[in-house]
Structure 1
């Protein structure tokens, strides 16, 4: 059963050409990922997303999650739609069989999340965070924790959260103050406040498993003294069932620009000194465990850029095909035509489609490295580390760009909420901010990732790109990335960080261009293939050269940024 909808056809093509899912299926770990299974998963997930989650997108945006004294209440229909997700087994795709999952590739799970999020981005944040919690427990949890929690998290019957940020700390995780005191029985008493916790509370699942960063007594200062704790909303009874409340309370939810269907909570732990947590991994080893979850989340936030880009593009193309206005410039026939036939609108639509496809290719390529690591590919581990900041930052930047263009395609109607174009713009804006701002991703790229394995990871990526690159602009961009990367590796901290963002964009576009070329070469001469060749050609001819122009900014000294006091910018 081959995929039938345009969305699943595109995803299947990227799974084949970019993620090389058929090669993954040759390994024992993923032998169940046969063609018919992959097609059935994509088709089923696409139908479920469009038929069950998609219709709730409007009420999720206009009504949104609601805080009450008794907990967060989701909009009408969300609880039953979430239960349908659980019963359909959609959360189990990439979870190892030993923990109650299907053991299929992570990149296929990524595809399912894309389909869900394209239909309803805010709703899809719930399983997205649960996926990260599963990863943290698989790699760092005790056997007992895995036995008690993973099977429920795998199905989605219980959901997971990540609790890092505190009011005084922001992105400086090392400044957190939440405390964990030993209770004398191997458990810990948790006390503190966490902010910006996505799906920190809701009424869709029977338990919520919070992973919480906190400090133990006499812990070292900064990130070296942070531990990770498992803190359920409801403690488990002797049979492993949720029972009494665990002194965790959502004291408020944020009033946000977008993602109204995703409750962003302020959580208070231990108001009554009765919040019990379990240590995950060793004491003071919290950052290592949390980064397992955070890196997973960063890929999935990049995927949100793809989701929003896909949804915004589909809405804009549909509108442009229906809206009739003005005759074509220079045409003898003065009959008004579809706005899709005007050159500038056609340019915007092509850019939206090309950038969405490029973002998808980048995120799926990164996600495939997760699977390659699982089957013992040593090079994939460093490649994943290098690609993660690119996937998170560039894909979310593109989600914002595409959503903004979508509003422009709609014209004045795009600024009117009823058309729905503005929702994508509002929903997209948080994605470059959370899970490490895109500036932090750029700093990570030039501060740590360029020097991975003594610089060999970056060199290997450049060699891979150069080996098959065909287009002249792409070859030029690859050369620019190599030259700038070498300069930054030897630069001082200020110059490195000042250049980090344009360099991240350059390198991301180079990887995207390389992946778009691969797709161009693999495209058949059918209708889908003709469309693919058109968008890949547009990307290589028009978007890649833009990135070459960033070389000047990526080579500039930080002195320009410090030429004046910022207060003078207000003069």
Structure 2
């Protein structure tokens, strides 16, 4: 039974050139189809051959913590060095910063390939990319000259440090402080936990982006966000004039966590002991403005929003590899006979792929994964809109869908990985065949970068009312426009009508949530179901777009198998997933009464 990883090159070429680029040409930056395929084939070969073999052994070995330092699993150091040498860690970084300057759509494909091949190892590079992007937007000139190039090359790594032992989501409760010194420098002290990549043996330095509070004139730390700032804190001292590395900077690794999954990624507790820190400036990212009380952490907000999108993609990546295992198993495993005699093979048993319930599990996985891949590309294109006349509206829609990408993707990816295990039965449950690890790895993404319940609250309490509901209206206008266009093709008319009705259900829920007479608890009670509605409808939107394109390409296609497969996956989503929307609407409109009636002491 094959468990090798196969990167979805054909899918990305189709999505980028046929689905996304016609309405968002900047997603490809003028790249020709052959060039896209060549780049992605090279990336696929690297991650399939170099990184994928490291995944299972890295999970078995895990990270080591000895004498205050972290050692990654065997093979990680060579694998990371090979990544940096080949340049796959800097695909979309601007050329002036040392990168290849390729479009973000290509970068998404490469990130998925890397995460599917070895998600634990990929985290070190992904976190570094997010960190140096933040420094490029908020750093001082000396950081752009010395810090960013070292991070882009892969000689230095990066992290983001938010969580503390006593607080996670509620950053008002942070105790880490940064104090200005008489010589104009800053010193930072405090403890941060759950820091992915907080230490490792892959790079010569680690650049920590740390949230800390600046004490008031009375020396006190206040429980609000008004004094929060983002600081750059290197593991080893960096000379701002020359970029030369010095000794330790008072960043002490207190230990590493023993985790359920992603065992090759070192999750550290860090103690900052009077560490030299450098304040970062306000972000210059379009649309990054925050409420005044938290303006000092705008750079971290940018990094967190980017990390939400990446987290959704990482979850999808683990689930995609699990699906590959399950599909191979279903084609090869023999058990029972097909219900129709004409579908039976000549042997004593048939491959289990002939059985309807096995197909249900496979179609459920594949239809989610391929719609999610398309939606992630589309949201990235919305957030990167270069046309000033369109930017504000499209950025708002992209921002609206960001918590959906993170939460819906990670919820469904964990479910998909479990479906892969279910299909494989005992062979999925044991460690030998890889799926058991992928289920464990996939679980964390529902918790990373703000747990999914927090993402749902962000959607209904902040994203929906922003701009008077303009983003939701814009999203649904896009959905309706796609439905109207697809309805011109008779084979897609029923899909288009169903999508329009589902969009109406979302509009109705949006109005219900905006009603000022609602109980203060109603938004929280409805938020997770509303986010699920958004994810299902956004995925159906992508399937309708892909179906419209596929039908248009079929008459001239040399081999229509790929396109006909898309149409069948869309058929499954509209038949089995979209009908859940009115049920979710009913749950949304039930309100909070049944959740809040039971006294707290009876739980």
Normalising by structure 1, report the TM-score.
0.94
Instruction: State the partner residue of 1:478.
Output: 503
Aligned with residue 548 of structure 1, among 582, 590, 600? 582
1:228-280 deviations in Å (ceiling 9; x for gaps): 1001111124531322111112111111111111111101111xx3x111001
1:381-418 deviations in Å (ceiling 9; x for gaps): 21221110111011111110100101101012211111
The question of whether the paired residues in 1 share the 8 Å contact of 2:309 and 2:402 is answered with yes
Instruction: State the partner residue of 1:278.
Output: 278
Partners of 1:374 and 1:301 in 2: how far apart?
Answer: 27
Instruction: State the partner residue of 1:232.
Output: 234
Task: Look up the SS of the partner of 1:76 in the other structure.
Answer: coil
Offset at 1:187? 2.4
Offset at 1:159? 1.2
Aligned with residue 268 of structure 2, among 261, 265, 283? 265
1:402 paired with 2:416, answer yes
1:494 paired with 2:525, answer no
Where in structure 2 are the equivalents of 1:37-436 lying within 5 Å?
A: 37-218=35-216, 220-237=222-239, 238-270=241-273, 273=274, 275-281=275-281, 285-329=295-339, 331=341, 335-372=348-385, 377-436=391-450
Are the structure 2 counterparts of residues 186 and 46 from structure 1 closer, same or farther at C-alpha, using a change threshold of 3 Å? farther
Moved more, 154-163 or 226-235: 154-163
Where in structure 2 are the equivalents of 1:517-556 lying within 5 Å?
A: 517-523=544-550, 524-525=553-554, 526-556=560-590
Q: CA RMSD in A?
A: 2.0
Are the structure 2 counterparts of residues 129 and 405 from structure 1 closer, same or farther at C-alpha, using a change threshold of 3 Å? same
The question of whether the paired residues in 2 share the 8 Å contact of 1:177 and 1:192 is answered with yes
Structure 2 unaligned regions, length at least 5: 1-5, 283-292, 488-494, 555-559
Partners of 1:249 and 1:387 in 2: how far apart?
Answer: 38
Count the aligned residue pairs. Answer: 559
Partners of 2:424 and 2:582 in 1: how far apart?
Answer: 30
Offset at 1:122? 1.4
Moved more, 454-463 or 196-205: 454-463
Are the structure 2 counterparts of residues 197 and 437 from structure 1 closer, same or farther at C-alpha, using a change threshold of 3 Å? same
Partners of 1:288 and 1:359 in 2: how far apart?
Answer: 28
The question of whether the paired residues in 1 share the 8 Å contact of 2:68 and 2:254 is answered with no
Partners of 2:546 and 2:353 in 1: how far apart?
Answer: 25
Partners of 1:447 and 1:175 in 2: how far apart?
Answer: 21
Partners of 1:476 and 1:335 in 2: how far apart?
Answer: 47
Are the structure 2 counterparts of residues 298 and 520 from structure 1 closer, same or farther at C-alpha, using a change threshold of 3 Å? same
The question of whether the paired residues in 1 share the 8 Å contact of 2:384 and 2:395 is answered with no
Are the structure 2 counterparts of residues 18 and 233 from structure 1 closer, same or farther at C-alpha, using a change threshold of 3 Å? farther
Moved more, 426-435 or 540-549: 540-549
